[in-house]
């Protein structure tokens, strides 16, 4: 069957249509006829070979992608929360040829739930990976209602979900934004907006001289934003940064693969999307055959919302 991947790691031009073997369906699993797969920075890193040493599959092709949505084609024994014909969304942990950029995908049943009511596959596929990462970051920081959370990269997919989920949790949210993105970020629910940039920690300290209780670093600024956090505070990161060990600030790297079978969490995100707590933002849609163009656009920066490939 068709997939989009690489046979040699490289730039966007390395992506092309490849043939992959069908995946067998086992007990507790779900087969999805993929209609849409979202594109993420993780995919561009995988395409370039950044994760090659972690992948037990040493032979090509390698297929990126962590988000899928489509129609349920089969359910394995023990799966009772989905039925054939349901529009569903799922999170994928890509290994070798088993990423999301393929027209047929078998996943653990606990990695798949129904798509939010009233959404298309294109919209639904934008939620699982970023939504679960945002929820994981907030849960691990364990801030209480009324405490202050700073968010960097707040106009992005992860950051935007953090702003919306934190607002729903009763936190006070201070978010970064460019002048062009300020209206968007305020619309997501930020209580305070400061200008983004390498000096964002100083701008946050101007508003909160003692520092903020927590910070979710969607912009991957690491040590540049650590000073915004108060002594004894907490920071959630998404690329492995663990902090400097000073001032009692805890840094918590978040790896969403650990939550890939958190069906309850994924279903809660579904309900919040249905209730309008979460906004599913689609920036651009490409047919799967144009995945190289999708990767080029993402790597150029400035994308607001998710880029989606369709099958």
Contact 266, 92 (CB under 8 A): no
Compute the average pLDDT of residues 53-58: 86
**What is the predicted pLDDT for the residue at 58?**
85
Domains belonging to the chain, first-starting first, are 2-127+280-310 (3.90.180.10), 130-256 (3.40.50.720)
Q: Which residue's structure tokens are 């349920």?
A: 72
CA distances from 188 to 56, 136, 138, 146, 160 (A): 40, 19, 16, 18, 7
11 phi and psi angles, rounded to 5 deg: -80, -175
Measured CA to CA, the distance from residue 264 to residue 249 in angstroms comes to 30
Give SS3 for 125: coil
Give SS3 for 108: strand
pLDDT band per the 50, 70, 90 thresholds, residue 75 = very high
pLDDT band per the 50, 70, 90 thresholds, residue 56 = confident
Measured CA to CA, the distance from residue 140 to residue 254 in angstroms comes to 9
Q: Is omega for the bond preceding 61 within 30 degrees of 0, making it cis?
A: yes
| DSSP-assigned letter for residue 260 | T
Looking at the predicted structure, is the pLDDT value of residue 227 above 90?
yes
**What is the predicted pLDDT for the residue at 70?**
98
Please list, in sequence order, all residues whose beta carbon lies within 8 angstroms of the beta carbon of residue 67, skipping any fewer than 6 positions away: 37, 38, 40, 89, 90, 91, 92, 100, 125, 126, 127, 128, 129, 130, 306
- In percent, the amount of the chain with pLDDT more than 70 equals 100
Looking at the predicted structure, is the pLDDT value of residue 54 above 90?
no
Compute the average pLDDT of residues 125-147: 98
| DSSP-assigned letter for residue 191 | S
Measured CA to CA, the distance from residue 72 to residue 119 in angstroms comes to 15
Compute the average pLDDT of residues 6-23: 97
pLDDT band per the 50, 70, 90 thresholds, residue 53 = confident
Measured CA to CA, the distance from residue 98 to residue 65 in angstroms comes to 9
Contact 289, 17 (CB under 8 A): yes
Compute the average pLDDT of residues 265-294: 98
**What is the predicted pLDDT for the residue at 158?**
97
pLDDT band per the 50, 70, 90 thresholds, residue 263 = very high
More confident residue, 206 or 55: 206
Indicate the pairing of strand 229-237 with strand 306-310: unpaired
Measured CA to CA, the distance from residue 160 to residue 281 in angstroms comes to 10
């Amino acid at each position: 069957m068709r997939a989009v991947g690489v046979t040699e790691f490289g730039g966007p031009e390395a992506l092309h249509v490849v043939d992959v073997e069908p995946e067998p369906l086992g007990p507790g699993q779900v087969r999805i006829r993929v209609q849409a797969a979202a594109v993420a920075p993780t995919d561009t890193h995988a395409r370039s070979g950044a994760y090659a040493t972690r992948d037990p599959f040493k032979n090509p092709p390698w297929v990126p992608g962590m988000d899928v949505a489509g129609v349920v084609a089969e359910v394995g024994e023990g799966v009772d929360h989905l039925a054939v014909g349901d529009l569903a969304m799922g999170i994928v942990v890509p290994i070798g040829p088993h990423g999301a950029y393929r027209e047929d995908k078998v996943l653990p049943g606990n990695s798949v739930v129904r798509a939010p009511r009233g959404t298309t596959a294109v919209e639904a596929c934008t939620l699982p990976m970023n939504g679960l990462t945002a929820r994981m970051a907030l849960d691990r920081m364990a801030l209480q209602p009324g405490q202050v959370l700073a968010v960097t990269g707040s106009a992005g997919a992860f950051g935007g979900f953090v702003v919306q989920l934190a607002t729903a949790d009763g936190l006070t949210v201070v978010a970064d934004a460019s002048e062009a993105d300020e209206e968007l970020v305020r619309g997501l629910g930020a209580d305070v907006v400061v200008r983004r940039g390498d000096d964002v920690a100083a701008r946050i300290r101007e508003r909160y001289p003692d520092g903020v209780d927590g910070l979710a670093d969607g912009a991957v600024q690491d040590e540049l934003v650590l000073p915004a956090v108060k002594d004894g505070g907490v920071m959630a990161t998404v690329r492995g940064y663990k902090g400097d060990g000073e001032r009692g600030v805890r840094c918590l790297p978040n790896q969403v693969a650990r939550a890939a079978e958190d069906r309850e969490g994924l279903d809660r995100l579904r309900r919040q999307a249905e209730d309008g707590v979460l906004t599913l933002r689609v920036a651009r849609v490409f047919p799967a055959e144009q995945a190289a163009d999708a990767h080029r656009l993402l790597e150029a920066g400035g994308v607001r919302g998710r880029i989606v490939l369709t099958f």
